[in-house]
Amino acid sequence: MRLQKFLAEAGVASRRASEAIIVAGRVAVNGKTVSELGTKIEPGHDRVTVDGKPVRGKRKLYVAVNKPPGLVCSRQDELGRPTIYELLPREWGHLHTVGRLDYLSQGLIFLTNDGDFSLHLTHPRYGVRKRYLATVQSRVRPEVLRQFTTGIWHEGEKLIALKAKLLSGGKSQSVVEVEMAEGKYHEVRRLFQSQGLPVKTLERVQIGKIKLGELPSGKWRTLTDAEIRSLLSKL
């Protein structure tokens, strides 16, 4: 990590002001004064001081939540609806959600204060896969699932599933497993909507290699270092 970014994230000063502090010779790394911009350090390993005082890096948090339906993924809602932040400790109110699940959807979602982590999991160029279970109020024909994986145009945008598999089906209801990677707005619901298939429930059960597992609805847990590495392993 670049030294000026480390100082800014630690709250010493803004990025630009941190650069000025470095150039002024006020920063030392492992006891050696550093005045060159672009110097890189390893947070947690290198010891950084400003004017002789140690600087502690921002603690990064990575939290997995099993979001119940009926919560919004924002800190405040203009309609007064409950938010996902009501499930978390108050001191974690600064975390942001990694992507979104709509008000009616449920399942796995991450919250963090690591902007790079969020970008890597949500930007289409990284292709991080998300797996969903959709309960649909109708029979879903095999040809519809094939259309999902070849691509469907909806409202001027092409939506495509990496996988679409019928898990169970009857005359009045079907359960479909869908795997996506682009993160477009309401993309799973829109796939079914384009075929006139109402979605009764939608649950995200996996992001990358991380599965929802047995995490109860409305509960959270922190991600392990191994899980974080697995999510970033292809980046």
Just list the catalytic residues.
102
Tokens for 21, please give them: 């502090």
Bridge-based pairing of strands 106-112 and 199-207 is: parallel
The distance in angstroms from the start CA to the end CA of the chain is 16
Bridge-based pairing of strands 48-50 and 62-67 is: unpaired
What count of other Cβ atoms lies within 10 Å of the Cβ of residue 167? 11
CA distances from 53 to 31, 42, 56, 214, 216 (A): 11, 18, 10, 45, 44
Three-class DSSP category at 187 = helix
Long-range contacts from 124-128, C-beta under 8 angstroms, 24+ separation = 124/181, 124/182, 124/183, 126/234, 126/235, 127/181, 127/234, 128/181, 128/207, 128/208, 128/231
